[in-house]
């Protein structure tokens, strides 16, 4: 991998908290271990090199900055990447240009990324005994509700295991108190539901 591509990789891994070394373009042991940690955290096979799937996961979490394309396809191929799957598009958006949501459990927030920028929504997440699952989930169904325990909207996903809904208990927001689901203020779940649709992707990371 060319040094500029390594530096790009190091900066993105550092942004996600996997790399604490110097961004110097050197694919040394610390960078290799950071790649391995990233792959494990994202549910990929443990390895110290990037793969097409790993590159796509990295870009899904950190956006599609134009610097990557300035490196040229050769650098991506050397990195084990797939230039055909790395077409420029709005940062963090789905391939069709629609918004993409990223749930950050440690920050207890939902980031809604679109061509217009990033909106941060405070959230309640799973308790230590009922952790919210991590990974990629596709919106299966959006159900409008009159209020109550699930608030004004319930967004269901596939595979099963994740849901996002509103709440009639706003004091829970910002805490680890749910049974694994993600809860938002009703105004925020309504805004999220209006910006995504069945088939949209949501990524959950620590």
Question: Which residues carry out catalysis?
Answer: 165, 181
Do 202 and 132 meet the contact criterion of CB atoms below 8 Å apart? no
The Cα–Cα gap between 136 and 200 comes to 10
- Gyration radius from the chain CA atoms: 18
The Cα–Cα gap between 178 and 181 comes to 6
Straight-line distance from the first to the last Cα atom of the chain, in angstroms, rounded to the nearest whole number: 28
Strands (DSSP E) found in the chain: 100-104, 109-114, 117-126, 135-144, 153-158, 163-165, 176-178, 182-184, 201-205
The Cα–Cα gap between 79 and 5 comes to 8
Alpha-helical runs (H) found in the chain: 3-15, 29-41, 52-62, 67-70, 73-78, 186-195
């Amino acid at each position: 991998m060319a040094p500029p591509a390594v530096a790009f990789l190091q900066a993105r891994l550092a942004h996600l908290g996997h790399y604490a070394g110097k961004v110097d373009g050197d694919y040394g042991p610390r960078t290799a271990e950071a790649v391995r940690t990233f792959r494990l955290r994202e549910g990929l096979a443990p390895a110290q090199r990037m793969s097409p799937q790993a590159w796509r996961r990295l870009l899904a979490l950190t956006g599609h900055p134009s610097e990557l394309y300035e490196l040229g396809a050769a650098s991506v191929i050397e990195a084990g990447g797939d230039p055909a799957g790395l077409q420029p598009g709005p940062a963090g958006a789905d391939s069709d240009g629609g918004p993409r949501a990223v749930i950050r459990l440690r920050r207890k927030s939902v980031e809604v990324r679109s061509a217009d920028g990033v909106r941060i929504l405070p959230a309640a997440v799973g308790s230590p005994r009922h952790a919210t699952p991590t990974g990629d989930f596709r919106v299966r169904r959006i159900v409008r509700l009159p209020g109550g325990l699930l608030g004004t909207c319930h967004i269901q996903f596939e595979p099963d295991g994740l849901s996002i809904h509103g709440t009639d208990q706003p004091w829970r927001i910002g805490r680890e108190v749910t049974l694994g689901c993600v809860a938002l203020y009703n105004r925020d779940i309504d805004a999220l539901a209006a910006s995504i649709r069945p088939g949209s992707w949501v990524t959950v990371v620590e």
